[in-house]
Amino acid sequence: MFSTGQWYFAIFFVVAFTIAMIWSYRKDLKRHKIHYKNTAIQVFLYGILVTVAFIIIRIALK
């Protein structure tokens, strides 16, 4: 299915991409703390809102 060279490239790509993403995130960490305050709370609240809306719609359609 895949040659040995393709497997080596895939493994190298995944490792390099992961390292680049970690490096980029650490570089922007100070900016994230300033611009994305309370983001986890907002995501949680929107998740609860969507869940409640889903439950209400499911009950209403029965």
SS3 33: helix
| pLDDT for the residue 47 | 97
Residue-wise pLDDT for 32-42, tens only, equals 888 888 888 99
Question: Within 13 Å and on the Cβ side, how many CA atoms surround 12?
Answer: 6
Sequence-separated (6 or more) residues with CB below 8 Å from residue 25: 32
Residue spans per domain, the chain = 4-61
pTM of the model: 0.52
